[in-house]
Structure 1
Amino acid sequence: MALQDQVAVVTGAVQGIGRAMAEILLRNGAKVALLDVNEAAGKSLKEVLDKQHGPERTLFLSCDVESEEQIRAAFQRTAGALGAVDIVCNNAGVLNEAEWEKTISVNLVAVVRVTYIALEHMNKMSGGRGGVIINTASMAGLFPLLSCPVYTATKYGVVGFTRAMADKTANSTALGFGIRFNALCPGFVQTDILDNIYERLGQFSQLSAETQVFVDKGVLKTSEVAEGLLELLTNDTKNGEALQVMCSSQKYMKFPVFT
């Protein structure tokens, strides 16, 4: 898939992985709608990107992914301002074991909600152009992070949802939506979530030392995760992939596996 003039929607777009995603999309010729609840940071980022790429290539929309109404409005405004949507990056996420219902709502329920609304715009069977949906999961979606059981559950859910959707919608004669689905599964990344992880472990805070062991083995830059996004977008053979993105020092790590 060539990205020139493709229209992308990125949730959780104004910092961390989401910002890196937006930047790599723009560098490769795409137009990007930046969705985030942080309005001040969103407007600031929009100004920066306007200087680099021109004001017509980005759109910032204040949007809470827990709100169906706001998501629907964001997709409508994106289509009106930038054109039909080709790419969706479900990236908004939180980690807070004390606020576990919020974690499930943002990390998993919102991924499903945004995806189903995106299908209304992208589905070839209803007049869309098809495209690619990329869901930000985590290595915790493949190997349990013991100090974060709810976060782990949400990311396992994202991987499972991604694979199930990919199995049915890319080239299926029954559901030929023309959409590829893939998941990004990075290790620890230098973001706000990592900066504050030990304050958000809730009743599992006593396991912070075990988490630190894995952090000490290497932390990714957000730009490295964005390179994984680019691979999943541009390689048309990728569908149902759960792409592991790890530091070279992490590649031979042994993760706990439970049967």
Structure 2
Amino acid sequence: MSSTGLQGRSVVVTGAGSGIGRAAALHFAREGSRVLVADLNQEGADGTVEAITAAGGTAVAVVGDLSDQKVAEQVVATAVESFGGLDVLVNNAGVMDRMSALGETDDAEWERVIGVNLTAPFVLTRAALPHLLTAGAAGGGAIVFTASEAGLRGSAAGAAYTASKHGVVGLTKSLAVMYRTRGIRTNAIAPGATATHIQVDARSEAEGPATLAPYLRLAGNVAQAEEQAAAIVFLASDAASNINGAILPVDNGWSAI
């Protein structure tokens, strides 16, 4: 029996086809939660569902672009229809930029990164809120974002990614304030360097990567996805029942430097 209060909870995890999202989905399932796996990649999403069900858990997948309102509504509707409600939303899906300085950032890079990292969680959270409020009225709903070290400083990524993750931090705190009296807690983790499948297509001749290199060397040890997932599950659990609006660095002290 889970001691986290997550037994039987309905949980949506985005970007759950790989990396931190998959590790979080598996961890929630081990706690007895029923998990909706949302991802852009069909093979990755199916792989996570198969891993959960093979271990005796319950999971379903929805595949699509979460910045599309229809896909966001499908994710929420599927979770509610499959599990009877929605208790926890983990906005984890994200992409990196090319470490570009602002003057090197073209419209395509900006729009892709902002769309995936900031617009998509906004759209999905808005779609999920009525059901999370129902969960809040019944004893507690939770939202957890995956922010980044780049949401705490200006020296961990390029302009687009840095802006997107600062936006995620702001969205986390706004939700925490707006819904704190209605049973929803909203928090975020801020991962440091982590072993995932996210690719950084940095151009060696660009100003951004050269400028950032000395700062990135301060990141230290590379975390495993499971270490980030453990922090996500903690923030969603009853063990964090009085934590709201927090941005939790999971970075082996990088943010303290």
Smaller-chain TM-score range? 0.7 to 0.9
In the superposition, relative to structure 1, how do residues 101 and 3 fare at CA in structure 2: closer, same or farther (>3 Å)?
Answer: same
In the superposition, relative to structure 1, how do residues 220 and 51 fare at CA in structure 2: closer, same or farther (>3 Å)?
Answer: same
| Cα drift, residue 63 of structure 1 | 2.4
- DSSP-derived class of the 1:3 partner: coil
The answer to whether structure 1 residue 186 and structure 2 residue 191 are counterparts is yes
In the superposition, relative to structure 1, how do residues 166 and 71 fare at CA in structure 2: closer, same or farther (>3 Å)?
Answer: same
Match of 2:146 in 1: 136
Extract unaligned runs of 5+ from structure 1.
Answer: 255-259
The answer to whether structure 1 residue 14 and structure 2 residue 24 are counterparts is no
Distance 2:157 2:245 in 1: 28
Matches of residues 1-259 of structure 1 in structure 2 within 5 Å?
Answer: 2-54=5-57, 57-97=58-98, 98=105, 99-124=109-134, 130-145=140-155, 147-171=157-181, 176=182, 178-193=183-198, 196-199=199-202, 204-207=208-211, 209-210=213-214, 212-215=216-219, 217-234=220-237, 235-247=240-252, 250-251=253-254, 254=257
Extract unaligned runs of 5+ from structure 2.
Answer: 99-104
| Cα drift, residue 18 of structure 1 | 0.2
| Cα drift, residue 94 of structure 1 | 0.5
Distance 2:224 2:79 in 1: 29
Contact 2:192 2:254 in 1 (8 A): no
Distance 2:114 2:255 in 1: 30
Distance 1:253 1:127 in 2: 37
Distance 1:200 1:155 in 2: 21
In the superposition, relative to structure 1, how do residues 165 and 212 fare at CA in structure 2: closer, same or farther (>3 Å)?
Answer: closer
TM-score, length basis structure 2: 0.86
In the superposition, relative to structure 1, how do residues 41 and 213 fare at CA in structure 2: closer, same or farther (>3 Å)?
Answer: same
| Cα drift, residue 61 of structure 1 | 1.1
Distance 1:212 1:186 in 2: 13
In the superposition, relative to structure 1, how do residues 146 and 21 fare at CA in structure 2: closer, same or farther (>3 Å)?
Answer: closer
RMSD value, Cα = 2.3
**Code of the aligned partner of 1:143:** R
Distance 2:95 2:121 in 1: 12
| Cα drift, residue 209 of structure 1 | 2.7
Distance 1:252 1:71 in 2: 33
- Determine what percentage of the aligned residue pairs are the same residue: 32
Contact 1:123 1:129 in 2 (8 A): no
Distance 2:55 2:143 in 1: 26
In the superposition, relative to structure 1, how do residues 126 and 89 fare at CA in structure 2: closer, same or farther (>3 Å)?
Answer: closer
Contact 1:95 1:200 in 2 (8 A): no
**Code of the aligned partner of 1:232:** L
**Code of the aligned partner of 2:246:** E
In the superposition, relative to structure 1, how do residues 51 and 114 fare at CA in structure 2: closer, same or farther (>3 Å)?
Answer: same
Distance 1:126 1:136 in 2: 21
- DSSP-derived class of the 1:167 partner: helix
- DSSP-derived class of the 1:192 partner: coil
- DSSP-derived class of the 1:18 partner: helix
Deviations 1:130-171 (A, max 9, x none): 500001101111122254121111111111111111012021
Distance 2:44 2:175 in 1: 33
- DSSP-derived class of the 1:58 partner: strand
Equivalent residues, number: 242
Deviations 1:34-64 (A, max 9, x none): 000100122222222211124xx10011121
